Amino acid sequence: MTIERAAIIGLGLLGGSIGLAVQARGLGITTTGWDRDPQVRAKAAERGLVGRVCDTAAEAVASADLVILCVPVGAMGDAARELAPGLSPHAIISDVGSSKEAVADALSAALPGACIIPAHPVAGTEQSGPEAGFATLFAGRWCIITPPDGVDPAALAALSDFWTALGSKVELMDAAHHDLVLAVTSHIPHLIAYTIVGTASDLEDVTQSEVIKYSAGGFRDFTRIAASDPVMWRDVFLTNRGAVLEMLGRFSEDLTALQRAIRSGDGETLFDLFTRTRAIRRQVIEQGQDDERPDFGRGHGE
Ligand code: NAP
């Protein structure tokens, strides 16, 4: 099974980047796309995010052998119902949603009997919309595919090959395990960033202008994450509720332990933890997951 025609539903950061990557890498795959917002469709056509921007979802997916839903996770069911009338019976339906169990349920409810193989490229930025996409977003990044039981091996191989061709490293994972792993590596960090930025903006004895003026002390790194799309992240927390609450419970316990260490002047506990976390940062860099330049490579006025 080879993919010759791919349809992209939702032409924001992820959808646009897939369309651009397919074209930039010269994969010989024809792309069509649709987004519910006419202004997004117009911008997508102007930027050439896909070969052809269609007026309806059904038109976009007609004769596609791969359909990728790139909409917020809470909109997956609606988007799938919208495209259903045009779907070829042989098409592979996939997505890029950040939570996987809920999306798998929504897609199978909307498209009973279809070949559904959810996936999550662990690649993104805090930007969204049709202007945000770029062709190299997936290069060297992981794409986690969460195949359901009894998946067609040829369809799974075709989807894996597709992501590999976009430059991704592919990993297969059970959907529930994916949701737990991503809760700790992505969802909780976003929640912490949203919280700290919210707390700082609500303070009474430290002004907002002081928070912004002295943000280089660490705060500004949280503001990047806390600038992420509100719709996308609302949906992530609502659809990955169980795993997020489980990890949040663990995090709260660890935070309370640190609070106790600070209150009781237990420097050893603080030092030991900070030494362990420094080693994690080294591993992130060694495994090519981030730039090793200090302060994320910021120029500091050079
Ligand atoms: P985005 O830039 O906001 O793009 C999503 C697009 O989908 C928007 O144009 C939106 O239009 C459209 N849309 C919403 N509901 C729709 C529907 N029912 N039918 C058709 N189009 C619809 O978001 P994104 O960052 O690309 O995220 C898309 C998906 O990728 C999400 O599921 C997210 O969890 C996942 N993801 C994101 C990242 C990241 O870092 N951003 C990384 C990995 C995975 P409106 O503006 O009109 O709502």
Check pocket membership of 73 for ligand 1, CB cut-off 6 A: yes
- The answer to the question of residue 143 being in a domain is yes
> What CATH number is associated with residue 260?
1.10.3660.10
Residue 252 belongs to some domain of the structure: yes
Nearest protein Cα to ligand 1, atom 4: 12
Q: Which atom of ligand 1 is nearest to the CA of 121?
A: 43
Q: Are residues 134 and 196 in the same domain?
A: no
> Which burial class, exposed, middle or buried, applies to 286 when counting CB atoms under 10 A from its CB (0-12, 13-18, 19+)?
exposed
For position 294, what pLDDT does the model report? Answer: 87
Answer yes or no: is the C-beta of 121 below 6 A from any ligand 1 atom: yes
Residue ranges in the chain whose pLDDT is less than 50: none
Task: Quick: pLDDT tens for 193-209.
Answer: 999 999 998 988 888 89
Question: Which of 173, 197, 217 corresponds to the end of one domain?
Answer: 173
User: Does 227 map to a domain?
Assistant: yes
280: in domain: no
Looking at 142, 173, 204, the residue that finishes a domain is 173
Q: Is 78 in the pocket of ligand 1 (CB under 6 A)?
A: yes
Predicted local distance difference test score (pLDDT) of residue 302: 63
Specify the residue with its C-alpha closest to ligand 1, atom 45.
37
Count of the separate structural domains present in the chain: 2
Q: Are residues 109 and 60 in the same domain?
A: yes
Domain identity same for 118 and 239: no
Task: Identify whether residues 166 and 224 lie together within a single domain.
Answer: no
Q: Does residue 252 share a domain with residue 136?
A: no
Of the residues 144, 173, 202, which one is the last residue of a structural domain? 173
For the Cβ of 19 lying below 6 angstroms from any atom of ligand 1, the answer is no
In ligand 1, the atom with minimum distance to the C-alpha of 17 is 26
Q: Do 134 and 24 sit in the same domain of this protein?
A: yes
Residue 295: the pLDDT is 86
Q: What is the CA radius of gyration of the chain?
A: 21
CA of 158 to the centre of ligand 1 (A): 24
Using one digit for the tens of pLDDT, what is the confidence trace for 230-269? 999 999 999 999 999 999 999 999 999 999 999 999 999 9
Domain-embedded: residue 287? no
pTM above 0.75, yes or no: yes
CB of residue 128 inside a 6 A radius of ligand 1: yes
CA of 149 to the centre of ligand 1 (A): 27
Same domain, 186 and 122: no
Ligand 1 lined by 118 (C-beta under 6 Å): no
DSSP the chain: ----EEEEE--SHHHHHHHHHHHHTT---EEEEE-S-HHHHHHHHHHTSSSEE-SSHHHHHTT-SEEEE-S-GGGHHHHHHHHGGG--TT-EEEE--S--HHHHHHHHHHSTTSEE--EEE----S--STTS--TTTTTT-EEEE-PPTT--HHHHHHHHHHHHHTTPEEEE--HHHHHHHHIIIIIHHHHHHHHHHHHHHH-SSS-HHHHHHTGGGTHHHHHHHHTS-HHHHHHHHHHSHHHHHHHHHHHHHHHHHHHHHHHTT-HHHHHHHHHHHHHHHHHHHHTTSS--SGGGG--TT-
* Domain shared by 84 and 190, yes or no: no
Identify whether 270 is part of a domain.
no
Tell me, using a 6 A CB cutoff, whether residue 94 lines ligand 1. Answer: no
The verdict on 53 and 147 lying in the same domain is yes
Q: What's the CA gap between 286 and 66, in Å, rounded?
A: 35
181, 166: one domain: no
Are 22 and 166 found together in one domain? yes
Q: How many angstroms does the Cα of residue 204 sit away from the middle of ligand 1?
A: 36
Residue 228, C-beta contacts closer than 8 angstroms, at least 6 positions apart: 126, 128, 190
Per residue in 269-302, pLDDT (tens digit) is 999 999 999 999 999 999 999 989 988 888 877 6
Q: Are residues 246 and 162 in the same domain?
A: no
Residue 193 belongs to domain spanning:
177-265
| Structural domain includes residue 278 | no
